[in-house]
Amino acid sequence: MHTGTTLTQFIIEEQRHIAGATGDFTALLNDLVTAIKVISNAVNKGALVGTMGALESQNVQGETQKKLDVITNDIMIRTNEWAGHLAGMASEEMDEVYPIPSRYPLGKYLLVFDPLDGSSNVDINISVGTIFSILRAPVPNRAAGEKDFLQPGTRQVCAGYALYGSSTMLVLTMGHGVNGFTLDREVGEFILTHRDMKIPADTKEFAINASNRRFWEPPVARYVEECLAGKEGPRGKDFNMRWVASMVAEVHRILTRGGVFMYPRDTKDPSKAGKLRLLYEANPMSMIVEQAGGASSTGYERILDMQPESLHQRVPVILGSKNEVETVVSYHRAEG
């Protein structure tokens, strides 16, 4: 029986096209994939292994940590720190850059991740995910500090997410399109199932947390109002709405059938530019969406062009089907 193209085979074949590739990147991705399989297993076991529920602790953003936030962060660190490919790691769950312990060699890449995005969904058995971004260390083989991580999203070497849904999937871009792999649990391998994923340019589906409506800025309020007006309104078509509160599930739906996702800037807490974080949520998702033919913006600028100012910086996010994102951006321009 033929299993199809495994993720390992896919990555090695991709690397063959890159002159001077040493295999370091392939090895790094292999470790990352191991971490994702272990996390998938932990998420899937659920209440059987006592990992549900919250801890007393809060993360750097003042959010209550779930047990699985901490467990999955640990899995990412332990699986990726030892092999000598990284000069440092940063995560949603850690205040500071994680230095590679001195007993291990340093490498030329930086790994940034959200180990369990959408973790408020864990206790209710709804899809969650891991989001990651790989950058080049400005100085290879030297311990990286915060500044080294503050690179615009256009400099990402690789971005991806794992979705722990009804099946576990890994969706990946290395800057030449987007490919999706499904975990065959019995075989223990990710198999290429979604080659060259593309987001349709038009859509009739939008996603936003409408409980924040009274805090929205006028361009977003106008856009949503016009969608809700349906056939009789200025858009001349009926729209559908979804909100999973799990960005990975949301982006995966958009990659599969189109749509627009918004976590815009609002007036709820003026000290926060948005809810989602630039380095390990907005940037990797924006690279994936653009590589699949979609668009991603804050409403005012392309997310991937932003110069990050700090590790946990927040940013407004509007991403998905190209024509729809452009409509929202044009409403921001009109207001501005």
Q: Which is nearer to Mg ion, 113 or 239 (by Cβ)?
A: 113
Q: Which stretch binds ligand AHM (CB under 6 A): 117-125, 138-146, 225-233, 266-274?
A: 117-125
Encoded amino acid at 280, one letter: Y
Do strands 205-207 and 260-263 pair parallel, antiparallel, or not at all (unpaired)? Answer: parallel
Closest approach, Cβ 157 to Mg ion, in A, equals 21
**Binding footprint of ligand AHM, residue count (CB under 6 A):** 14
Structure tokens at 332: 């921001």
- Nearest CB to Mg ion, comparing residues 25 and 164: 164
The CB-nearest residue to ligand AHM is: 247
Binding mask 119-138 for ligand AHM (x = CB under 6 A): xx------------------
- Find the shortest distance in angstroms from Cβ 141 to ligand AHM: 31
Compute CA 23 distance to the chain's CA centroid, rounded to the nearest angstrom. 24
Return d(Cα 62, Cα 89) in angstroms, integer: 20
Note whether 246 binds ligand AHM by CB under 6 A: yes
* Among 18, 47, 245, 334, interactor with ligand AHM by CB under 6 A: 245
Separation between Cα atoms, residue 83 and residue 171, nearest integer Å? 23
Give the nearer residue to Mg ion in terms of CB position, either 117 or 324: 117
Q: How far apart are CA 173 and CA 273, in angstroms?
A: 27
What would the x/- binding string for ligand AHM be over residues 42 to 71, using CB under 6 A? ---------------------x--------
Q: C-beta of 289: minimal distance to ligand AHM in Å?
A: 14
* Residue 314 DSSP code: B
> With CB under 6 A as the contact rule, which of the stretches 70-78, 114-122, 175-183, 322-330 interacts with ligand AHM?
114-122
Q: How far is the CB of 187 from ligand AHM (least distance, A)?
A: 29
CA angle, corner 109, sides to 19 and 302, nearest 5? 90
Question: What residues between 96 and 115 interact with Mg ion by CB under 5 A?
Answer: 114
CB of 69 to ligand AHM, least distance (A): 8
Q: Using CA of residue 275, residue 281, residue 282, residue 288, what is the dihedral sign?
A: negative
How is residue 18 annotated by DSSP? Answer: S
Of the candidates 81, 93, 117, 290, which one interacts with Mg ion according to CB under 5 A? 117
Shortest distance in whole angstroms from residue 119 CB to ligand AHM? 5
Alpha helices by DSSP H, listed for the chain, are 7-15, 24-45, 67-80, 146-149, 218-229, 247-257, 283-291, 322-335
Are the CB atoms for 259 and 321 separated by under 8 Å?
A: yes
User: Please, are residues 28 and 109 in contact by the beta-carbon 8 Å criterion?
Assistant: yes
Residue reference for tokens 């030329």: 108
Strands 260-263 and 168-173: unpaired
Tell the residue number behind the tokens 């990726």, with chain if given. Answer: 80
Candidate residues 31, 81, 117, 324; the one interacting with ligand AHM per rule CB under 6 A: 117
Structure tokens at 244: 């999973």
Q: Is 249 helix (H, G, I), strand (E, B) or coil?
A: helix
* Residue 114 near ligand AHM by CB under 6 A: yes
* Residue 310 binds which entry of Mg ion, ligand AHM, none, CB below 5-8 Å type-dependent: none
Which does residue 331 bind out of Mg ion, ligand AHM, none, counting CB within 5 to 8 angstroms by kind?
A: none
Residue closest to 130 by CA, chosen among 259, 238, 41? 41
- Of residues 288-317, those binding ligand AHM (CB under 6 A): none
Site residues, ligand AHM (CB under 6 A): 63, 92, 114, 117-120, 209, 245-247, 250, 263, 275
Site residues, Mg ion (CB under 5 A): 114, 117
